[in-house]
Amino acid sequence: MKVKGFSAAAVQAGIRYKDRLDLALIYSATPAALGAVFTASTVKAAPVLLGMERLRSGKAQAIVVNSGNANACTGEEGMRMARTVGALAAQALKIDEELVQVASTGVIGAQLDPAPFAAAMPRLAAKLSEDSFDELARAIMTTDTVPKIASATIRIDGVEVNLLACAKGAGMIMPNMATMLCFAITDANIAQPALQAAVRSGADLSFNRITVDGDTSTNDTMLCLANGAAGNTLLDESRPEQLAVFTEALHGMFKDLAKQIVRDGEGATKLVTVRIEGAASQEDAVNAARTIANSPLVKTAFFGEDANWGRIIAALGRSGAAFQPEHVAIAFDDALLVENGFGLGKEAEAAATQALKQKEFAVTVRLGAGAAAAEMLTCDLSCDYVKINANYRS
């Protein structure tokens, strides 16, 4: 998969570990429109603060990303280091450093050493190739067990438009955080405000609808570059139908990557869609879905393949969503387990348990309180999750 005018590269820079890809670059032959979403955490890593500052121009031409060090909780020195890394990339690429976005994932609270960046950057720039996005996806992995890539090709006004995105997370390796990074590129010709809106709404429908353990990182970053090389007529809000074709393709990639992240969740053995229907409001639907999807009791029951609807009802009860218990229905895939707030007995439970034994299944909860619906993707909570994160030191 190639996207016109874009190239990528990854190298082993030795930032924290030897012999692994840990520094990568995305480059557009021309300055591109930039859409971006950053962590909602009060504690924002230096590259996030720098990225927010540079997003104001609405443009970028390159993204430099490292693993091994998050450059978070590093204060003014950390900000200087983020600028330095960006400047090193700009120098190697011969572009304006204001057009470089910087992203980091790894250890919190350690200062970046600029030496490995300075040493590796010329080599990295020299390696840029249209075919290297797989390598980039591998370079940003931490406890991820597989690289995560999605792509799409659409036609707009008869012109072929390509989109590609890769992501990492939600994994953490002590003492790293569960950083979520997503980089998307497209050769679409699209106005920046429309791109920003599509990225923002895409985040809400994908990465903001998944949970492995409910934690939010200091470094979560989504960046989307659109360089216009496809040559389509400009997409903006004056052409809602064409814009919708693009937005749908972009959101499809984000949702695909979000699913890949949960499937690869630390210690996860099951991918579960929690769907709320019949909520009084969209906010209620999302809150109810999120509370169930984050409940350790619900997640351990998934791991134990136990159709324990009492835990789901209990999570609902503390979610703040408006509902009458006697109107609640719960199904595991097609197996209806609870109706009018009552369990439907042993046979229904046996059918629900069969659904639970699958690698992937959906829990649908109907609240009977309105017409709003929402989904969250989650995984089970296994012993391996605890082992990975407790990380016994010998």
Which string of x and - marks every residue 208-237 that binds a copy of itself (by CB under 8 A)?
A: -----xxxxxx-------------------
* Cα angle 319, 271, 198; round to 5: 75
Among 101, 176, 227, 247, binds a copy of itself (CB under 8 A): 176
Residue type, 118: A
Shortest reach from residue 302's CB to a copy of itself, in Å: 9
Shortest reach from residue 383's CB to a copy of itself, in Å: 5
Tell me if 393 contacts a copy of itself by CB under 8 A.
yes
- Which of 156, 304, 120, 334 lies closest to 240, judged by CA? 156
- Which of 56, 122, 53, 127 lies closest to 83, judged by CA? 53
Q: What tokens does 89 get?
A: 């990339």
Which stretch, 6-14, 57-65, 196-204, 299-307, contacts a copy of itself (CB under 8 A)? Answer: 299-307
Choice between 47 and 228, CB closer to a copy of itself:
47
Tell me if 270 contacts a copy of itself by CB under 8 A.
no
Q: How do strand 335-339 and strand 342-343 relate by DSSP bridges?
A: antiparallel
Give the Cα separation of 72 and 106 in Å (integer): 9
Across the chain, how many H-helices and E-strands are there?
11, 15
Residues contacting a copy of itself: total by CB under 8 A? 69
Choice between 131 and 215, CB closer to a copy of itself:
215
Which stretch, 17-25, 140-148, 161-169, 320-328, contacts a copy of itself (CB under 8 A)? Answer: 320-328
Q: What residues between 67 and 96 interact with a copy of itself by CB under 8 A?
A: 70, 72-75
Give the Cα separation of 323 and 124 in Å (integer): 56
Question: Active site includes 179?
Answer: yes
- Which of 146, 155, 140 lies closest to 26, judged by CA? 140
Residue type, 70: A
Q: What residues between 343 and 362 interact with a copy of itself by CB under 8 A?
A: 343
**H or E element at residue 1:** none
Catalytic residues: 179
Binding site for a copy of itself (CB under 8 A): 39-44, 70, 72-75, 107-110, 172, 174-178, 213-218, 295-297, 300-301, 303-306, 308-311, 313-323, 325-326, 338, 340-343, 381-383, 385-387, 389-393
